[in-house]
Chains A and B, each alone.
Chain A
Amino acid sequence: MTDTASAPLLAVDNLSVAFGPSRVVENLSFSVRAGRTLAIVGESGSGKSVTSLSVMRLADMMGGQFPTGQVLFESRQGRIDLTTATQKTMRGIRGKEIAMIFQEPMTSLNPVFTIGDQIAEVLILHEGMSKQAALAEARRLLDMVRLPDAADLLGRYPHQLSGGMRQRVMIAMALACRPKLLIADEPTTALDVTIQAQILTIIRELQTELGMAVIFITHDMGVVAEMADDVVVMWKGRKVEEGPVADIFARPQHPYTQTLLAAVPKLGSMTGEAYPKRLPLTVMDGDTPRLVGGEHVQDTARYGLPPVLSVRDLVTRFNIKKGIFGGVTHRVHAVEKVSFDIHPGETLALVGESGSGKSTIGRTIQQLQKETSGTILFDGRPVSSMNGTERQKLRQEIQYIFQDPFASLDPRKTVGFSIAEPIRTHALINGSKPIQKRVDELLERVGLTSAHASRYPHEFSGGQRQRVCIARALASNPKLIIADEALSALDVSIQAQILNLFMELQEQQGLSYLFISHDMAVVEKMSHRVAVLYLGQVVEIGTRQQIFETPAHPYTQRLLSAVPVADPARARNRTMLEGEIPSPIRRVGDEPAIFKRTEIAPGHFVASAA
């Protein structure tokens, strides 16, 4: 081996990053060699993204400074310290020697320029190519990331592409000048699992092909297990642990790493269990991990009682106006002939990818969206023929919890006011003293204190805000809670806590949940029954055990195989995933085929082609 191969390509040494008086990263050191993948893992606020922006010196534009340390990079001109390099030098390195892929593929591409122009721009800038040559190269790059019809794509605009396609364009753009180092900041977080699997495969293959070093920034331990050679764990701006990926997973040393790994839901961890289970949580108590709570089997579902909610042949479609004179030419077939029941105390999970119609079902049940046909029975009464008073009652008994807890709380009202609002609206309690008491009680119920009532949403962390939203939902004594991706925006350790809170509330109050999620591992922990949705139809429905242990529909199998598992020892064994998720938009008159379902085991229905 030559000397250059053994010397690290990038060596971060004792780096601190400060924004004004606050230090976001402190005394961080790590190094990456050519051809290796380093994962930087941490939860929100750990400083992992700031680290990547600092290496690129993009943190400067946000006011970042580097009070200590250096970032040594083996550039074409020899070894240089990036923290002291001029912005002019950095412009020669960015995009050419170090490239970066960002988290949000939907907003990473400039909406007003064509794909071709955006890729060609880098080549013209760094390689001095002519526009013509750059476009030809751009086309080759799009082929490389396996986008079909590359020639046609060059002239298209970002909004005409799906999220997965855009992220591939980003990868093509980042790799245009064959950089020595690729920094990928949460590149698959916003994508569906099957698309995530494709993107991860592409990054891995291109890394081998180009011999690049990769810094992979993520919060997802499953992705780490699949991608990384080495791991750096960050917590509150500091590195708490580093080592080869197998060691980190098998023998985590630092208490934080242990907590983090314990919180990660692992697909397949519930195999053999008939019911969902509440497991004790490892939480950080100062600097030491501590186990909280005990083990409870969640056998809360009352199948003997009539269902709380019965959905029969539900169809929801949206018209899209496309004709010159406002005529309807296309429709979104969001939900097509969906039927299911939820019993008291039961959690039914709706799983599926973007466009599967899972959120539309939730919105239709709440009557935020009118159904096209079909019936929804709540407590045996049809929702569509309810009068004003009954509808009001329905809005009290069905509550919604959304993905983004910050967006769903009024920023100008105290959380106490927000929690009290449903109590006042539905006149559940009268008098401000008793309402105040109830609000305090609800806050304590979700693990906050009565002192929190007078604070505003921005004073809380993401997890606390979601607890406030849960308290608000509980305020109206609901029978059914529709949780739409309620855990998706939260860090794993917080996610585990909220998950346990959901189950605890179910046990105490006999709540039913319609749990809408794309995260298979969370669904496995939480639900009694699972319905898998694909293009608005249920392709498979059954008990949790049936769906996860004996999945029968090919789509369910694909979905399960795409989930990255947080265990580097487990062999990567997945059916090769190809292609995009098809669009639910259809021309008027072009009706989709409705799948027939057959019962292959008691309560286990699988769709077969119609």
Chain B
Amino acid sequence: MAGFLIKRFLQAIFVVIVVTLIVAFAIRLTGDPALMLTQGAGSVTEADLVRIREALGLNQPFLVQYFGFIKGLFTLDFGRSFLGGTKVSTLLAAALPATLLLAFSSLIVSIAISIPLGIKAATSRGKWADQAIRILSLVGLSFPNFWLALMLVLLFAITLKWLPPSGMNGFESFIMPAVTMGIILTATNVRLVRTAMLETLNSQYIMVARAKGLSENVVLYKHALRNCAIPLITYFGLQFGGLLGGIVVVERVFNWPGLGTLAFDAVGARDYPVLQAVITVLSLMIIGVNLLVDIAYGLVDPRIRTE
């Protein structure tokens, strides 16, 4: 296990270097932040622009800027935002919990709903319960997340006035973004659980478990579910990456003060330090989740653990 973790850690370092290099390089292709900052400011001389670039450290060679950023990673000092000069670490500290809260709770709620529904669909294959669950999941899959978010706002915030349309302000403001994320995740997860379960239920050891006289619930939730776990965990892990991508859009619609909103604004303003930091944090999170997935494999499946 120790060897495995060391190997994974080395891989993670490599991934972070590649991701940050690409991000730092690509963002500098998008244009000059000095021009962006002085837009609409009337008479701006070339000397003013040079001064701004010097102040922001943009006159230095790319690699110097990049290594400065990497060095900052170790001290959690990501520099200051080009806009307003707030410390990037302060911005992150505010946005990260908001995003994590939204992401994990929608993932967990979705897993909690999709497992029993998926199992129900698998055990009543071809019957009405299965059909209903499959149709509902297809409907859920067909919604684009931004559209669903807008419809929810239209219905619950504007027409019915039950929920606040945006912002993060108590439990009520949390409902709509979480439901939006949750519906789309659940729709895919139900299908995945159903397929994995159908395959497992055909196994000989399920027949053996029934021949022992075990009740259906023990057969399904003890013997079958644990065997479905590998494909499910794999998918839930992969989904986490997609979830973080989707969250940018949903956060934007609901004006949720998370990493997504932060990244969105930073892109618009060519705010290099903020964008670099957000993307680095996101990639670290994805790497971390994948590591957890690998460890989970070993926990649920002895064939991997004892190899």
Report A's interface with B, CB cutoff 8 A. Answer: 56, 58, 61, 90-96, 99-100, 102-104, 107-114, 121-122, 125-126, 157, 159-160, 170, 173, 324
Contacts and interface: CB of A to CB of B under 8 A. Distances in A.
Contacts of A107: 203-205
Given A157-B302, A157-B303, A324-B3, A111 B210 contact: no
Contacts of B208: 100, 102, 108-110, 170, 173
7 contacts: A94-B211, A94-B213, A110-B208, A110-B227, A112-B226, A125-B212, A125-B214
B215 interface: yes
A173 B213 CA distance: 12
A291 B227 CA distance: 51
Query: Majority SS of interface residues in chain A?
Result: mixed
Contact of B204 (A95, A108, A125): A108
B300 A112 contact: yes
Given A110-B223, A159-B302, A96 B205 contact: no
B214 A121 contact: yes
Given A102-B204, A111-B227, A95 B213 contact: yes
Contacts of B203: 107
A173 B212 contact: yes
Contacts, number: 77
Interface string B187-228: 000000000000000011101111111110000000100110
A112 B227 contact: yes
B184 to A, nearest CB: 30
B48 interface: no
A107 B223 CA distance: 13
B265 interface: no
Contacts of B207: 58, 102
User: What are the 7 A-B residue pairs with the smallest beta carbon separation, nearest first?
Assistant: A324-B3, A95-B213, A94-B213, A95-B212, A107-B204, A157-B302, A110-B205
Nearest to B204: A107
Nearest to B301: A112
Nearest to A173: B212
A95 B211 contact: yes
A159 B215 CA distance: 25
Contacts of B215: 91
Q: Chain B contact residues (Cβ within 8 angstroms of A): what range?
A: 20 to 34
Interface string B1-32: 00110010000000000000000000000000
Contacts of B223: 110, 113
A494 to B, nearest CB: 24
A92 B227 contact: no
Contacts of A109: 205, 208
Contacts of A95: 211-214
B11 to A, nearest CB: 14
A91 B301 contact: no
Nearest to A91: B213
A129 B210 CA distance: 19
Identify the interface centre among B205, B226, B300, B303: most chain A CB within 10 Å of its CB. B205
A122 B210 contact: no
B213 A96 contact: yes
Given A112-B300, A112-B301, A160-B306, A122 B212 contact: yes
A93 B213 contact: yes
A413 to B, nearest CB: 25
Nearest to B219: A61
A95 B306 CA distance: 30
B214 A104 contact: no
A126 B302 CA distance: 27
Contacts of B3: 324
A93 B213 CA distance: 7
B210 A61 contact: yes
Contacts of A173: 208, 212
A397 to B, nearest CB: 41
A402 to B, nearest CB: 23
Given A93-B213, A96-B213, 10 more contacts: A91-B215, A95-B212, A95-B214, A100-B208, A103-B204, A121-B212, A157-B302, A170-B208, A173-B212, A324-B3
